[in-house]
Amino acid sequence: MADHKPKGISRWLFTTNHKDIGTMYLVFSFIMFLIGGGMAMIIRAELFQPGLQFVDPNFFNQMTTLHGLIMVFGAVMPATVGLANWLIPMMIGAPDMALPRMNNWSFWILPAAFGLLLSSLFMEGGAPNFGWTFYAPLSTTYGPPSTDFFIFGVHLMGISSIMGAINVIVTVFNMRAPGMTLMKMPLFVWTWLITAFLLVMVMPVLAGAVTMMLTDRHFGTSFFDAAGGGDPVLFQHVFWFFGHPEVYIMILPAFGIASAIIPTFARKKLFGYSSMVYATASIAFLSFIVWAHHMFTVGMPVQGELFFMIATMLIAVPTGVKVFNWIATMWQGSITYETPMLYALAFVILFTIGGFSGVMLALTPVDWQYHDTYFVVAHFHYVLFPGAIFGTMAAVYYWLPKWTGRMYDEKLAKWHFWLSIVFVNLTFFPMHFSGLAGMQRRVPDYAIMFSDFNMMSSIGAFGLGLMQLLFAWILIKVCILEKGEKATDRVWEDAEGLEFTHLPSPAPYHSFETPPKID
Amino acid sequence: MSLFRKMALVIAAISVVILSGCSGQEYNMREGVTEISREVYSLHMIAIWVCVAIGIITFGAMFYSMFAHRKSKHPNPAKFSHSTTVEIIWTVIPFIILIALSVPAVSLLIKMEDASDSDLTVMVKGYQWKWEYKYIDGDDNLGNDVSFFSNLDQASRDQSVNAGSGFSGTEITDDNYLLEVDNPLVIPVGQKVRFLVTADDVIHSFWVPDFSVKKDAVPGFINEVWTKVDEPGVYRGVCAELCGKDHGFMPIVVKVLPQEEYDAWYAEKVAAAEAGPDLNERTMSQLMSEGEAAYNKYCSSCHMPNGEGNGPFPSLVGTEMVTGEGSIEEHIDVVLNGVSGTAMQAFGNQLTEAEIAAIITYERNAWGNDTGDKVQPQEIHDIQNGGGE
């Protein structure tokens, strides 16, 4: 059947096609990634040496705040939603997402949300400057006027995420091809299904937090103000009840990606499929009962601290199971090292390093020394950059030939990988040291004993920034200039999954109009 | 170049660069000077070595597989895809390791949270962007005999702003840059000191790494933390929780003195408090020079040294409140009582009458404001003691 689609801009504005919407999500997230990365460059330039050389402290705080918000809500989350849109229908043998119009709407809310957020940079009093965690009362009583734009921006992002998540849940439960039982679904679909449940459960909590902020700021309530009977720490409890599951929202899809890529290039079935599913579900469950480990210094009762310490340490068990399963998948396989595999393996190793520092941070007595230092910054950048973002890059390299019908430039991609590995470690590894030596987070200037490690981090960060431009060029070559050899339908020698075994490359605009047979 | 050569090269390159930074720089947690901080340090080291050991085993297996099971060496992949025994083993072993790690952590935490039977209590209060220390006398609850503010020293402030711009600024060489204050917190050695930590405006966090003490200062709530320092000395910390613009510029310095020296210091502070404020009349030039110094210390980080303000912080040059007819009362009121809901604090509780008088006089006559107005310490004293609001 021929593709019916409008030409020009209206194709994109009115599209209800999961592939178009997936593409828009991915392009949008890449633009946000570059904007948020640009802010990181400003941060690292200021931290290149002690002293204030480039920006004033207030603007520096705006940069750290927007960098965090844009990377979390604008880059990582939409990127994984884009992958879900592209891949889930093809992986389960469905013609499209279950709710295609809502799909369109949930994407087009995002540019408005980030337009609101970024416009605050040009307002009197400047953009939000209270950190991406926007702790009250710094963000309520003391927030700049633009905080209200931030609040509405966050509301819109939340609505978009909730709609995207509902769509995934409905699609997975209703649109699977006959014979595609739950325990036959590719792990990427599983991890995204669990992610979607996390999203619908915690995004409303975030919406509640920002709404309480709004009424505290303008309507005379005192949720977070002790003078009116409220409690600033309540804000942190509400925020982290959202915030901790949020970190798994960002990383679970990457787990699914690694579980798709490693078996392909090891030419061996994924080891322990069902334990992977159960481990993912356990991680998701535990993520709801560990939120206060972000708050060990706020003055909790010691019993509370003990509970959150133990619960947090437990997360290491299912996470360890996943890592061991990936290694067992490789074990006695027949491994080749194309770029997606390199990224997937780097993901496993570097994410695990982030996991180690996570276990250390869980130990409450030592956390008093780590908390709010660069050690924490090193920890979460290890799980986010070489974790979630390398996972996404692995996915892009792995499925790009299926999406476009063309192979990317393998040579440039290898350069992109090896230099990224050097720079990502050069940027973030020294942060462990500066944090342990006592450098606190979110400062534009620091004592001279931290200068060598900061200079290294800055040089690494500039290199890492450049690498993203190389990534952009690799993508432009394939997607816009249409260069590169034609991909086969299977793309990779032993790729499994309906998108490789049942569909041509590039995948047609409408796929699986009649469901495939699954045995 | 083969994959493994590349990998070795990358690892070597990163290690060389990072290790070159380690020499001569601090790169690990400090052991500190209290029993607790030493226990925290050893728990930290245990945790690191546990992670290193697990890392060596896990990554060792992974690298072995990457090497030995690559296609050129191992062309026929095995077929297995699960093994219940192995899966149970690698669920149970990490579980046991974690339990083993949590045992010392639990007992240490319980010890750290026990602030009972202290010898001395000091109230620590965070402000944007300074600390106040108040010695709470056990005999007459809240007998506020001794209290003072602790600000970043002027030398650090100047060096920070004058570091030049771009990548080729002046190099800062002062070892205590950003880690020095005008009035350090002073405590006696060998005594259990309890800190009651709170804040005036936003959340701050009181952190002294050498004591392994970090506690958030939450406005409206009081947190408790304690230390018992073994050796006299000067120990430096910082505010650890983002608290606004000058979060990076509110260090903590704790001077730990032998008991006799501490007693002498305390007696001197009590005597100074009892002597009452210095309300002597000053000449215009005295007020201006004292005012300039105090302005630069307390006001210039927001209103800028040239008085022109910055972003949300208003300009003081030629504005109605500073130069307007009859505006002097409002001006004094704002400085004394602050503006609620903004970063403008109530300086009446923080500065001496002489400092406030000098600052107001300076603001009304500097930068071409030239109103000729003069405010004396006595006037401020009268307003604060029933004369005004």
pLDDT at site B139: 53
The reply to whether residue A443 touches residue B243, judged by beta carbons under 8 angstroms, is no
Cβ distance B14 to A313 less than 8 Å, yes or no, reads no
Instruction: Report d(CA A453, CA A459) in Å as an integer.
Output: 10
Q: What does the angle CA A353 – CA A39 – CA A426 come to, to the nearest 5 degrees?
A: 35
Which residue in chain B is spatially nearest to A459 when comparing CA positions? B17
* Strand-pair partners of B199: B126, B219
The CATH number of the structural domain formed by B120-161+176-275 is 2.60.40.420
Contact between B148 and B182 under an 8 Å Cβ cutoff? The reply is no
Which of B361, B109, B44 has the alpha carbon at shortest distance from A435? B44
Question: Using alpha carbons only, what angle is made at residue A364 by residues A358 and A366, rounded to the nearest 5 degrees?
Answer: 80
By the CB < 8 Å criterion, does B110 face chain A?
yes
B239 has a chain A CB within 8 A of its CB: yes
Q: Do A232 and B219 touch (CB under 8 A)?
A: yes
Residues of A in contact with B201 (CB under 8 A): 137, 142
B112 contact A CB<8A: yes
Q: Using CA atoms in the order B95, B99, B105, B106, what is the torsion angle rounded to 10 degrees?
A: 130
Closest chain B residue to the Cα of A45, Cα to Cα: B167
In the block, which residue shows the tokens 């070595």? B49
Helix residue spans in A131-231 (DSSP H): 147-174, 187-218
Tokens matching residue A59: 């603007």
Cα A290 from Cα A301, distance rounded (Å): 15
Look-up: residue for tokens 């047609």?
A: A508
d(Cα B389, Cα A84) in Å, to the nearest integer?
Answer: 63
A129 neighbourhood in chain B, CB within 8 Å:
244-245
Q: How far is B100 from chain A (nearest CA, A)?
A: 11
**DSSP-derived pairing of the beta strands B185-188 and B252-257:** parallel
Q: How close is the nearest chain A Cα to the Cα of B274, in Å?
A: 32
Distance from CA of B349 to the nearest CA of A (A): 18
| Cα–Cα distance for residue pair A17/A24, rounded to 1 Å | 11
Three-state DSSP class for A337? coil
Give yes or no for B31 touching A (CB within 8 A): no
Q: d(Cα A64, Cα A56) in Å, to the nearest integer?
A: 13
Amino acid code (one letter) for B38: R
Please report the pLDDT score of residue B250 as a whole number. Answer: 95
pLDDT in the model for residue B387: 53
- Give whole-number Cα distances, A409 to A86, A257, A339, in Å: 22, 21, 10
Q: What is the CA radius of gyration of chain B?
A: 28
Handedness of CA B285, B291, B297, B302 (dihedral sign): negative
Are A257 and A343 contacting, i.e. CB atoms less than 8 angstroms apart? no
Stretch 260-299 of chain B: residues touching chain A, C-beta under 8 Å: none
**B51 CA: distance to closest CA in chain A (Å):** 6
Q: What is the mean pLDDT of residues A445-463?
A: 94
Q: What residues of chain B, 312 to 331, have a C-beta less than 8 Å from chain A?
A: 312
Q: Distance between CA atoms of B59 and A190, rounded to whole angstroms?
A: 26
Average confidence (pLDDT) over A324-344: 96
| B138 vs B351: which has the higher pLDDT | B351
Residues of B in contact with A233 (CB under 8 A): 218, 221
Closest in A369, A421, A445 to B178, CB measured: A445
**What pLDDT is stored for residue A47 in this prediction?**
95
8 Å CB contact of A352 and B58: yes
CA distance, residue A456 to nearest chain B CA (Å)? 8
End-to-end CA distance of chain B: 80
The whole-number pLDDT of residue A2 equals 57
Among A273, A412, A410, A391, smallest CA distance to A337 is for A410
Residue B371: per-residue pLDDT? 85
pLDDT given at position B164: 75
If one counts every other C-beta atom within 10 angstroms of the C-beta of residue B46, the result is 17
Instruction: Judge if the upstream peptide bond of residue A506 is cis by omega within 30 degrees of 0.
Output: yes
From chain A, the residues in CB contact with B209 under 8 A are: 369, 438
Please tell me the predicted confidence (pLDDT) of residue A414. 95
**Nearest-10 crossing angle of helices A410-437, B3-22:** 30
Chain A nearest-CA distance from B146, in A, is 26
pLDDT digits (tens, 9 = 90+) for B306-344: 888 877 788 888 888 888 877 888 888 888 888 876 778
In whole angstroms, what is the distance from residue A89 CA to residue A171 CA?
Answer: 8
Contact predicate A79/A392, CB 8 Å? yes
Tell me which of A372, A415, A426 to substitute to probe the interface with B (most B C-beta atoms closer than 10 Å): A372
Can you tell me the mean pLDDT for A108-119?
96
Cβ of B343 within 8 Å of Cβ of A142? The answer is yes
Cβ–Cβ of A297/B201 closer than 8 Å?
no
On the question of pLDDT at A307 being above 60, the answer is: yes
Shortest distance between the Cα of A258 and any Cα of chain B, in A, equals 14
Phi, psi angle pair for B117, to nearest 5°: 55, 45
Task: Kindly tell me if the per-residue pLDDT of A377 is higher than 50.
Answer: yes
Q: CA A276 to CA A284: how far, in whole Å?
A: 12
How close are the terminal C-alpha atoms of chain A, in Å? 26
Burial class (CB in 10 A: 0-12, 13-18, 19+), B370: exposed
Question: Is A509 a residue whose pLDDT tops 80?
Answer: yes
Nearest to A446 by CA among B305, B298, B27, B156: B156
Task: Give the CB-side neighbour count of residue A272, counting CA atoms within 13 A.
Answer: 27
pLDDT per position as a tens digit, B115-171: 989 999 999 999 999 999 999 865 554 455 688 999 999 888 888 888 777 777 678
Tell the residue number behind the tokens 């495939």, with chain if given: A516
Chain A residue numbers touching B249 (CB-CB < 8 A): 57, 445
* Number of CB pairs, chain A paired with chain B, less than 8 A apart: 341
pLDDT over 60 (residue A246):
yes
- Structure confidence at residue A517 as a pLDDT band (50, 70, 90): confident
Residues of chain B with CATH 2.60.40.420: 120-161+176-275
What tokens were used for A452?
């060598």
Q: A139, A282, A314, A327: which to substitute to probe chain B, counting the most B Cβ within 10 Å?
A: A327
What does the pLDDT read at residue B21? 66
**pLDDT category of residue B389 using cuts at 50, 70 and 90:** very low
Of B3, B1, B12, whose CA–CA distance to A346 is shortest? B3
In tens, the pLDDT along B190-222 reads 999 999 999 999 999 999 999 999 999 999 999
pLDDT of B388: 44
Residue A274 burial by Cβ neighbours in a 10 Å radius (0-12, 13-18, 19+): exposed
Q: Are A286 and A314 in contact (CB under 8 A)?
A: yes
Task: Report the distance separating Cα B10 and Cα B6, nearest Å.
Answer: 6
Phi/psi at A398 (5° precision) = -75, -45
From residue B150, alpha-carbon distances to A51, B131, B133, B250 in Å are 21, 5, 8, 8
Catalytic residue annotation of A: 67, 96, 132, 160-161, 244, 246, 248, 259, 293-294, 319, 322, 441
Q: How far is A198 from chain B (nearest CA, A)?
A: 24
The dotted CATH code for A20-501 is 1.20.210.10
d(CA B151, CA B242): 17
Mean pLDDT of B254-269: 93
Residue A137: cis peptide before it, omega within 30 degrees of 0 = yes
Q: How many residues does chain A have?
A: 519
Per-residue model confidence (pLDDT) at position B144: 54
- Amino acid found at B188: P
Domain with CATH 1.10.760.10 in chain B: 284-387
Q: What is the mean pLDDT of residues A467-476?
A: 96
CATH 1.10.1200.10 fits B3-112, yes or no: no
pLDDT beyond 70 at A371: yes
Chain segment B323-333, per-residue pLDDT in tens = 887 788 888 88
Q: Where in chain B is the domain with CATH 1.10.287.90?
A: 3-112
Residue that is written with structure tokens 């050569």 in the block: B5
- The verdict on B63 touching A (C-beta cutoff 8 Å) is no
Q: What is the pLDDT of residue B35?
A: 95
Determine whether the interchain pair A51/B108 forms a contact, defined as Cβ–Cβ distance below 8 Å.
Answer: no
The pTM assigned to this predicted structure is: 0.92
**Beta carbons of A151 and A218 less than 8 angstroms apart:** no
Of A126, A366, A456, the CB nearest to B21: A456
pLDDT at A56 over 50: yes
Instruction: Report yes or no: A402 and A506 within 8 Å, Cβ to Cβ.
Output: yes
Q: What is the pLDDT of residues A262-305, one digit of tens each?
A: 999 999 999 999 999 999 999 999 999 999 999 999 999 999 99
pLDDT in tens, A156-198: 999 999 999 999 999 999 999 999 999 999 999 999 999 999 9
Sign of CA dihedral B23, B26, B30, B33: positive
Instruction: Answer whether the bond into residue B131 is a cis peptide, omega within 30°.
Output: no
User: What ipTM goes with this model?
Assistant: 0.93
B115 in contact with A, Cβ within 8 Å: no
The residue of B176, B205, B214 whose CB has the most chain A CBs within 10 angstroms, and thus the best one to mutate to test that interface, is B214
Cβ of B247 within 8 Å of Cβ of A443? The answer is yes
Taking only the tens place, the pLDDT of each residue in B165-195 is: 777 767 888 889 999 999 999 999 999 999 9
We find that the CATH architecture of domain B284-387 is Orthogonal Bundle (1.10)
Confidence of residue A410 (pLDDT cuts 50, 70, 90): very high
DSSP B73: T
Quick one: pLDDT at residue A57?
92
Residue from the list B47, B179, B203 with its beta carbon closest to the beta carbon of A363: B47
Of B55, B108, B248, the CB nearest to A356: B55
* Long-range Cβ pairs for the range B333-336 (8 Å, 24+): B333/B388, B333/B389, B335/B359, B335/B360, B336/B380, B336/B383, B336/B384, B336/B388, B336/B389
Interface contact A225-B164, CB threshold 8 A: no
Chain B residue whose CA is closest to A226: B220
pLDDT tops 60 at residue B1: no
What pLDDT sits at residue B228? 96
Please compute Rg for chain A using Cα positions. 23
Cβ contact B62–A327 (<8 Å): yes
What is the rounded average pLDDT of the residues A30-57?
95
The pLDDT value recorded for residue B22 is: 66
The angle at the Cα of A270, spanning A267 to A272, to the nearest 5 degrees, equals 150
Q: Quick check: B20 pLDDT over 80?
A: no
Do residues B40 and B108 lie in contact, with contact meaning Cβ atoms separated by under 8 Å? yes
Interface mutation vs chain A, best among B202, B246, B313, most A CBs within 10 Å: B202
DSSP B264-289: HHHHHHHHHHHH--------HHHHHH
* 3-state SS, residue B135: strand
Which residues from chain A sit within 8 angstroms of residue B53, using beta carbons? none
Mean of per-residue pLDDT scores for chain A: 95
For residues B182 and B150, the answer to whether their CB atoms sit within 8 Å is yes
> Residue A363: which residues within 8 A CB-CB, separation 6 or more?
A309, A313, B43, B47, B101, B102, B105
Chain A residues in contact with B49 (beta carbon < 8 A): none
